């Protein structure tokens, strides 16, 4: 039997570099989307970390901002948000790709019961110091 999938999109004025503020907004909007009947909520690119300020960061600062997917604090919090709201949450951040020594803008897909990850665009890490 076909199952209707309701997808919500959400955008907010994030604070560059303030993961705590941005994750709180994602939590609030995810709960709201669930109350309105959504099965999935998708947020904008780099909604967790912010985006525009990153071009002014040094290689070292960008590397410090980025997180591993899965496993670091932001993806753990997204998993908690997905479980609390009972819906799948897609949110963006700068992610570390240690296998290629890169920092990537990535989207993390966190489901209430199961997780998969998707990295999108990347820049190379220069001589072990950061991205560039």
CATH number of residue 76's parent domain: 3.60.110.10
| Residues in contact with 108: Cβ distance below 8 Å, sequence separation at least 6, in sequence order | 69, 70, 74, 75, 78, 90, 91, 92, 93, 95, 117, 118
Residue 2 covered by a domain: no
Of 74-83, 101-110, 116-125, where does mean pLDDT reach its minimum? 116-125
Residue 29 covered by a domain: yes
Q: pTM, whole model, 2 decimals?
A: 0.75
| Burial of residue 101, with CB atoms counted within 10 A of its CB: 0-12 exposed, 13-18 middle, 19 or more buried | middle
What pLDDT digit, counting tens, does each position of 54-105 carry? 778 887 888 788 887 777 888 889 999 999 999 999 998 888 776 655 555 5
- pLDDT, residue 30, reads 97
- Quote the domain boundaries for residue 126: 7-131
Residue 40 covered by a domain: yes
- pLDDT, residue 86, reads 94
Number of domains observed in the structure of the chain: 1
Residue 1 covered by a domain: no
Residue 34 covered by a domain: yes
């Amino acid at each position: 039997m076909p199952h209707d999938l309701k997808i919500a999109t959400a955008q907010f004025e994030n604070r560059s570099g303030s993961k705590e503020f941005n994750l709180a907004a994602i939590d609030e909007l995810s709960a709201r989307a669930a109350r309105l009947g959504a099965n999935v909520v998708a947020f904008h690119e780099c909604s967790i970390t912010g985006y525009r300020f990153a071009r002014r960061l040094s290689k070292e600062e960008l590397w410090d901002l980025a997180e591993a997917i899965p496993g670091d604090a932001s993806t753990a919090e997204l998993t908690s948000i997905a479980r609390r709201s009972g819906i799948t949450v897609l949110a963006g951040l700068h992610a570390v790709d240690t296998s290629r020594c890169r920092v990537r803008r990535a989207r993390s897909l966190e489901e209430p019961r199961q997780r998969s990850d998707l990295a999108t665009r990347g820049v190379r890490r220069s001589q072990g110091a950061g991205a560039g």
